[in-house]
Amino acid sequence: MRIIVCPGDGIGPEIVAAAMEVLQATATRFGLDLSFDYEDVGFASLEKYGTTLRDEVLQKAKTYDGIILGPQSHMDYPPVEKGGRNISAAFRVGLDLYANIRPARSRPFLDRGVPNMDLVIMREATEDFYPDRNMTVGWAEFMPSPDMALSIRKITAKASERIARRAFEWAMKRRKKVTAVHKVNSFKLTDGLFLEQVRKVSKDYPEVQLDEVLIDAMTAHLVRDASRFDVIVATNFYGDILSDLASELSGSIGLAGSIMASDSQCCAQAQHGSAPDIAGQDKANPSSMILSVAMMLQWIGDYQNMPIIRQAGEKIESAVDKVLENPNYRTADLGGPIGCKAFGSLVAEAVQFV
C-alpha cells in the first residue's frame, strides 16, 4: 500500500512525525506492506519552488492508496498569483475529496467535555460559501466598488446528493439516524436544493430516521445534549463550524480526527490548524493527526475489502485512548506534562498491546 506524506506548516511536521511513528509500529504488528513518499507543501514548497503546492504533487497524489496531509498556515500565505495556493482546497477539488468526515465522541476518563456524545459530521467539501472552489476560472468573491464586497455561494444537486448518500450509509452502520443541518428559512433556494436531495436519498434508506435542524438551533442542541445526534450531514460552511464545536465539546480540538474522501481515495488530515505559535516547541497534541491516520486505514480497509487494514486502524484508536487514560501521559492542551514526540512514542508502544 502506497502512501504520500505532506507534513505541511507550523506543527505539521511534528504531529505528522508522531503519526508516522505510530503507523510504522502498526504496520510491524499487523504485517502491513506500506511504503511512503514525502513531498513538501506549504512554506517549505514556497521557498523551494515558488508555490505552496506544485501541480505535479497534486497529480502524483492521485496514484496513491492514501494521503497524509499536515495542517497549513494558509492565512499567512501570499496571494495566489504569488504562489500562495490553498492546499486543502486544491486537494479537495483536484482529487474530488468531497466527503469531509469528522467524528466526535466523549471519553469518560477525561475530566472535560460533554457526556455521552458519539457522532459523525459528514461535511460536503467541494462547494458552498468557499470562493476558492466555486469557479472554473477566477475567485468567487469580488468588489464592484470600494465599499461593496460580494460573494457567490454554490450548491449543486450532485454534491448534495452524494454527501447525503454517504451520511445515510454511515448511519446504517451506526444508530440509524441522520440530522440534516440547514438554514432554509433564509437560503430558500440553496439550502432548499440541499434538503431536497437529502430527502430524496432518505427514501432509499427507510430504516434511517431523518431529522432537519436549523444551523443556529443546531449549535444550541449540541451544547445542551449532544447525545441525541448520530450522523450529521451538512453543507461545507455549516459542517466546518459544527465540527470544531463538536470537537471542543469532546474535550479538545486536538482530539479531532478527520478524513477527506472521494469514491476511491482517502486523505488523513488533522482537523485543527497549524498553530505556528507553538511550532517547533514539542507542545502540540498529535492525537488528531494520529486518529486521522487511523480513520484513513479503516476507510482503505473497507474500500479494498481488507479487514486487516481496518483492524489496524481500530487498534490505533484504542491505543490513543489507552494512553490518554493516564493523566501523566497527556499533552499540555489536556492538562498533561508531556510533549508531542513522547505522546507519539507512547501510542506507538501501546499499539503493540491493545
Q: pLDDT tens track of the chain, all 354 residues?
A: 999 999 999 999 999 999 999 999 999 999 999 999 999 999 999 999 999 999 999 999 999 999 999 999 999 999 989 999 999 999 999 999 999 999 999 999 998 889 999 999 999 999 999 988 888 888 899 999 999 999 999 999 999 999 999 999 999 999 999 999 999 999 999 999 999 999 999 999 999 999 999 999 999 999 999 999 999 999 999 999 999 999 999 998 889 899 999 999 999 999 899 999 999 999 999 999 999 999 999 999 999 999 999 999 999 999 999 999 999 999 999 999 999 999 999 999 999 998
305 found inside a domain: yes
**CATH code of 243's domain:** 3.40.718.10
Domain boundary among 249, 273, 295: 249
Do the domain assignments include residue 256?
Answer: no
Helix, strand, coil percentages in the chain from 3-state DSSP, rounded to 5: 45, 20, 35
Ranges of beta strands (E only) in the chain are: 2-6, 35-38, 66-69, 99-105, 118-124, 141-145, 148-151, 177-182, 209-214, 231-234, 259-261, 266-269
CA distance 213 to 228: 12
Confirm whether 254 is domain-assigned. Answer: no
Strand partners, 120: 103, 231
Distance of CA 24 to the CA centre of its chain: 21
Task: Establish if 109 belongs to a structural domain.
Answer: no
Same domain assignment for residues 123 and 204: yes
Q: Identify the CA nearest to 257 among candidates 121, 66, 353.
A: 121
Q: How many domains does the chain have?
A: 2
Domain assignment of residue 257, yes or no: no
Name the CA dihedral angle for 26, 95, 192, 164, rounded to a multiple of 10 degrees: -40
Co-location of 346 and 244 in the same domain: no
User: Do 119 and 242 reside in the same domain of the chain?
Assistant: yes
Cell numbers that stand for 108 in this block: 469518560
Question: Which positions are annotated as active-site residues?
Answer: 130, 183, 216, 240, 244
Residues 204 and 184 in one domain: yes
Count the Cβ atoms, other than its own, within 10 Å of residue 149.
Answer: 10
Pair (11, 81) in one structural domain: yes
> What is the pLDDT, as a whole number, of residue 134?
84
The residue behind cell 480526527 is 257
Residue 89: the pLDDT is 92
**How confident is the model at residue 64, as a pLDDT?**
97
Both 124 and 202 in one domain: the answer is: yes
| Domain presence at residue 259 | no
Based on DSSP, count helices (H) and strands (E) in the chain, helices before strands.
11, 12
14 within domain boundaries = yes
Same domain flag for 222 and 118 = yes
Provide the edge-to-edge strand list for the sheet that holds 99-105: 35-38, 2-6, 66-69, 266-269, 259-261, 99-105, 118-124, 231-234, 177-182, 209-214
Task: Tell me, rounded to whole angstroms, the distance of Cα 54 from its chain centroid.
Answer: 22
The DSSP letter of residue 38 is: E
298-332-109-117 Cα dihedral, nearest 10 degrees: -60
If we measure between CA atoms, which residue out of 264, 68, 89 comes closest to residue 162? Answer: 264
Domain that holds residue 31: 1-102+265-354
Q: In terms of domains, do 161 and 269 share one?
A: no
Q: Cell 498529535, residue? A: 286
Both 124 and 232 in a single domain?
yes
* Sequence-ordered list of residues with C-beta below 8 angstroms from that of 280, at least 6 positions apart, any chain: 14
Nearest-angstrom CA–CA distance, 314 and 303: 15
223, 249, 275 - which closes a domain: 249
Quote the pLDDT of residue 188.
97
Is the same domain home to 10 and 81?
yes
How many whole angstroms from its chain centre is CA 325? 24
Asked if 122 and 244 sit in the same domain, the reply is: yes
What single letter denotes the amino acid at residue 103? P
**Where among 249, 276, 309 does a domain terminate?**
249
Question: Is residue 107 one of the residues assigned to a domain?
Answer: no
Residues 337 and 290 placed together within one structural domain of the fold: yes
Residue 139, pLDDT score: 85
